[in-house]
Amino acid sequence: MHVLFVEPKFPYNQRQFVRGLHAVGARVTGIGEAPAEALDPELKSWLHGYERVRTVVDEGALMEAVRRVQHREWVDRLEATVEAHILPVAKVREAATIPGTSVRTAFLCRDKPAMKDALRQAGVPTAQSRGVSSPQELRMFAAEVGFPLVLKPRSAAGASGTQRVDNERELESAIVAQGLDRGHSVAAEEFIEGHEGFYDTLTIGGRVVHDFISHYYPGVLEAMRTRWISPQIVTTNRVDAPGYSEVKRLGQRVIEALEIGTSATHMEWFFGPKGLKFSEIGCRPPGVGVWDLYAAANDFDIYREWAMAIVHGHPGQTPSRRYAAGMINLRPDRDGRISGYEGIDRIEREYGEWIIDSHLPPPGTPTADVSAGYMANAWIRMKHPDYDHLRHMLDGVGRTVKVLAA
């Protein structure tokens, strides 16, 4: 099989998808923005060919690159795994008559108000939401739904650009901050109280063949705006526990409603006083290195499994469920430059055998804002056979390790 893969070089983990495709016997032609000479020898060894474009989100340039390859040889698949690439790649895929995720599916997984409308029609429980394009439309939605509200860019990934609004004063400030007074359009949603997690799958022909359930501690909005919190993402190895059956059923209904065929998916959910509510979906793998947690927790190569789904249409391995795995983000005590760390030696002594890996930028490294995400500044990833003990260890890291800045 010949697979065109969009942007094999950046971000860095993109190379793992190329490696997986090569490992299962595919010929892989990369389409990317870097010059060919910037690709390292290992990455080049996995590639059958390479086409450079100015930007991979330019549909015209992407189409020209695809046509150049099609003129030379048959193309079986055109794949992308980065949120911003999914819709332009789907449009080119459809125009070039290459099988894969449709434009409709890609759009519904990208545009939050359209996504929610489609899922409500399919009976999936979601927060009340609306696409708004003027200050008056937002004020009307607030009057109907009440506070608090959440405002999101219509097509952002994760919590990027998300803002909570608790009262009229904050609503007026948000109108300016979100650009509604300048003609911008945003997704306005009812704020759902409750615990926040996500359900990730690999699907083949709309059937879930691998699935994973993870939790945020605390929720993303709180984590991304509170410096003193060391936020965690933890994936459980108890996915067959009865309490998760409703999450799995919800995920399958979403996959069917959006007509997702063979793809990775990333689905956010809330559970609280109003029950289980679907939040949003990406027709792609999760970000912030979560797939690496799944690989470490399950003793298998998840990138190869993704490639098996794309190339051969069936899974190759069974996840062991041997470990729970998690990541803790460690924030500096102030903005500036990292000056050092406290507590690392103690953590290595107490938990060393359970540490998967870590990122501890050297002194002198400029700090990143706390809103930059779970892999900004420093982080540690760990695993353990017992989910509760893993949570205990991650909490211990959060209490013990200090990132100092000056």
C-alpha closest to that of 287 among 175, 396, 379, 200: 200
Is the same domain home to 206 and 183? no
Which of 190, 213, 242 terminates a domain? The answer is 190
Q: Is residue 21 part of a domain?
A: yes
Q: For residue 261, what are the CA distances in angstroms to 6, 64, 205, 385? A: 19, 26, 4, 33
pLDDT band at 154 (very low <50, low <70, confident <90, very high): confident
Quote the CA–CA distance of 21 and 311 in Å, as a whole number: 8
Q: 199 with 263, same domain? A: yes
How far is it, in rounded angstroms, from Cα 285 to Cα 324? 19
Query: Please, where are the H alpha helices in 47-182?
Result: 59-72, 83-95, 103-108, 112-121, 135-145, 168-177
Task: Kindly report the CATH number assigned to the domain that includes residue 83.
Answer: 3.40.50.20
Same domain, 140 and 239: no
Q: What is the pLDDT of residues 269-289, one digit of tens each?
A: 999 999 999 999 999 999 999
138 and 261 inside one domain: no
**pLDDT exceeds 70 at position 31:** yes
Beta-carbon contacts of residue 382 (< 8 Å; ≥ 6 apart): 325, 326, 327, 328, 351, 354, 355, 356, 390, 393, 394, 397
Read off the pTM: 0.91
Query: N- to C-terminal Cα distance for the chain?
Result: 53
pLDDT tens digits for 160-200?
Answer: 678 899 999 999 999 998 889 888 889 899 998 899 999 99
pLDDT band per the 50, 70, 90 thresholds, residue 159: low
Q: What is the pLDDT of residues 199-253, one digit of tens each?
A: 999 999 999 999 999 999 999 988 988 899 999 999 999 999 998 999 999 999 9
Domain hosting 61: range is: 2-100
Asked whether residue 267 is domain-assigned, the answer is: yes
How many domains, the chain? 3
Between CA 136 and CA 145, with CA 140 as vertex, the angle to 5 degrees is 145
pLDDT, position 224:
85
Q: Are 379 and 328 in contact (CB under 8 A)?
A: yes
- Report, as an integer, the average pLDDT of 346-374: 95
Strand duo 402-405 + 338-342: pairing: antiparallel
Give a yes or no: residue 116 inside a domain: no
Q: Is 118 contained in some domain?
A: no
Give me the residues paired with residue 204 across strands: 207
